[in-house]
């Protein structure tokens, strides 16, 4: 079998793939781990939804597998190191959801600034505008460029931090973002926008060391994995008012339970990973993934040595915004 499709795709994408490769469509396998693993035994590639974990144990059931496609934005439950070891390429599009994430983030900023009042010079409580505000971007994924472009229309100042980018990197002037250290960024930002890709070494990065230094009445919008935050530090900053309000679009299960620090905070808004999920972004991503899977399946290897392993975390960055077959 060339391709196992577990993630429901648009009919035209499925038709295009089906005309070119032998495929099986089985969305029910997303909820049946044992049957999903059995189905992988003679499959060369698979497209799976974000709910399906692809770990080293799962890959033991897939001796022929050479590509895993992920249309949705999340990839935290894919073991990149295990995929690299087996010569399996993880196929995603980093750019397909950039515009959707940017629109969501701007909308969240506007909502929090206008909906959460602060005391003005005359003593009254009022909302705020983006124009003239300083926006701090923690992380510089493709969405950051779109966010910076949209913010320029409001007249906002944009500063940014990314541990993977040196202050002299050409990305900063190209994307019209001023580089800053993380502490400086937290201290200067009226809005803190967190979109840093999550790796285990970043667990709890935004803790008391930085959140205790928030600019007064700062609001926070995060589309990143909630593991970047120290829960106690974030809860303390929200309860004390150091952070006026926060909007998290990705929160780990159970984080709002009664015995957890974030429980019962009325200035915290949570949404279930909807920033990157729009009809348009999903179409762009589906075509990008389908096209790359097709390219990989067209290559018939003579031996296992013909495969090139995927570097952990290196994603297929396929510009598919205007592409169609």
DSSP category for residue 256: T
- The Cα–Cα gap between 316 and 94 comes to 7
Residue with tokens 């019962």: 264
pTM of the entire predicted model: 0.81
What ranges do the domains of the chain cover? 3-95+279-306, 98-270
* DSSP three-state, residue 191: strand
Which of 238, 248, 237, 228 shows the shortest CA–CA distance to 208? 237
Instruction: Report the pLDDT value the prediction gives residue 320, as an integer from 0 to 100.
Output: 36
Q: What is the pLDDT along the chain (325 residues), one digit of tens a residue?
A: 899 999 999 999 999 999 999 999 999 999 999 999 999 999 999 999 988 999 999 999 999 999 999 998 777 789 999 999 999 999 999 899 999 999 999 999 999 999 998 888 888 889 999 999 999 999 999 999 999 999 999 999 999 999 999 999 999 999 999 999 999 999 999 999 999 988 889 999 999 999 999 999 999 999 999 999 999 999 999 999 999 999 999 898 899 999 999 999 999 999 998 998 899 999 999 999 999 999 999 875 433 333 334 444 444 444 333 333 3
Sign (positive or negative) of CA dihedral 134, 154, 195, 266: positive
Instruction: Report the pLDDT value the prediction gives residue 121, as an integer from 0 to 100.
Output: 82
3-95+279-306 and 98-270 in the same fold: yes
Instruction: Report the pLDDT value the prediction gives residue 200, as an integer from 0 to 100.
Output: 85
Q: Is-contact 147 222, C-beta < 8 A?
A: no
Task: List Cα–Cα distances, 306 to 66, 84, 87, 172, 312, in angstroms.
Answer: 11, 14, 9, 38, 19
CB atoms within 10 A of CB 272: 8
CATH 3.90.79.10 fits 98-270, yes or no: no
CATH number of the 3-95+279-306 domain:
3.40.50.720
């Amino acid at each position: 079998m060339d391709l196992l499709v577990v993630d429901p795709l648009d009919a035209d994408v499925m038709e295009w793939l089906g005309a070119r490769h032998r495929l099986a469509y089985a969305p029910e396998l997303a909820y049946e781990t044992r049957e999903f693993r059995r189905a992988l035994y003679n499959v060369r590639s698979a497209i799976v939804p974000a709910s399906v974990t692809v770990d080293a144990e799962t890959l033991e059931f897939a001796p022929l597998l050479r590509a895993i496609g992920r249309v949705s934005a999340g990839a935290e439950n894919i073991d990149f190191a295990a995929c690299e070891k087996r010569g399996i390429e993880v196929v995603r599009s980093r750019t397909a959801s950039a515009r959707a994430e940017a629109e969501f983030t701007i909308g969240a900023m506007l909502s929090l600034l206008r909906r959460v009042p602060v005391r003005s010079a005359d003593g009254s409580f009022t909302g705020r505008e983006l124009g003239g505000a300083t926006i701090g971007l923690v992380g510089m994924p493709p969405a950051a460029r779109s966010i910076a472009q949209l913010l320029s229309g409001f007249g906002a100042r944009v500063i940014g931090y990314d541990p993977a980018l040196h202050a002299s990197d050409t990305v900063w002037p190209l994307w019209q973002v001023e580089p800053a250290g993380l502490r400086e960024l937290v201290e200067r930002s009226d809005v803190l926008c967190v979109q840093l890709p999550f790796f285990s070494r970043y667990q709890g990065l935004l803790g008391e060391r930085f959140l205790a230094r928030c600019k007064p009445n700062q609001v926070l919008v995060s589309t990143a994995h909630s593991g970047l935050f120290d829960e106690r530090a974030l809860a303390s900053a929200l309860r004390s008012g150091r952070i006026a309000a926060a909007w998290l679009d990705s929160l780990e299960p159970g984080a709002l339970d009664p015995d957890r620090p974030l429980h019962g905070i009325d200035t915290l808004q949570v949404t279930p990973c909807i920033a990157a999920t729009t009809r348009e972004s999903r179409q762009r991503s589906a075509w990008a993934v389908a096209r790359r899977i097709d390219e990989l399946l067209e290559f018939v290897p003579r031996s296992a040595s013909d495969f090139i392993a995927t570097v952990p975390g290196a994603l297929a960055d396929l510009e598919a915004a205007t592409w169609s077959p």
